[in-house]
Amino acid sequence: MFLNSIRYLSDHKHLYYICGDFNINLGNLEVESNIKDYVNSLISLSCKLLISKPTRVSDHSATIIDHMYTNDNKHDILSGIPIYEISDHLPIFAVAKQIKPNARNIYKNNQFRDMKCFCP
């Protein structure tokens, strides 16, 4: 169901950022084939995984269960995991750098009317 939703968004050219507690430990990617299949399916749909470090850390384990995905290829994206121990999960974030238009190209396709004939 989730992968079908991603496929729908991709097929209809929607820009998306999806994040949440998926309870799928990406740290077990090399050990569990179903997790590897899941990640390969996302990659085949042009999904980028933005979080790759543990987000739930205890004395006994460290798991990557909080995920963030996007299909945004137009922006530079800064993502990370700030170390704030406010719950049993660490927060995650992503910031997409806005692309500024080239000042020379702003007026490239605009047309201007000569207004001299309207001045007294």
58-89 tens-digit pLDDT: 889 999 999 999 999 888 999 999 988 778 89
* Token reading at 106: 């702003």
> For residue 108, what pLDDT is reported?
57
Render pLDDT for 8-52 as a digit per residue (tens, 0 to 9).
998 999 999 999 999 999 999 999 999 999 999 999 999 999 999
* Average pLDDT of the segment spanning 84-108: 76
* Domain-embedded: residue 112: no
Quote the CA–CA distance of 101 and 120 in Å, as a whole number. Answer: 37
Q: Which two tokens stand for residue 94?
A: 């992503």
On whether residue 113 sits in a domain, the answer given is no
Q: Determine, yes or no, domain membership for 41.
A: yes
**CATH assignment of the domain containing 75:** 3.60.10.10
Angle between helices 2-11 and 33-44 (to 10 degrees): 20
Residue 23 lies in domain? 2-100
- pLDDT band (50, 70, 90) for residue 94: very high
Question: Quick check: 42 and 69 in contact, CB under 8 A?
Answer: yes
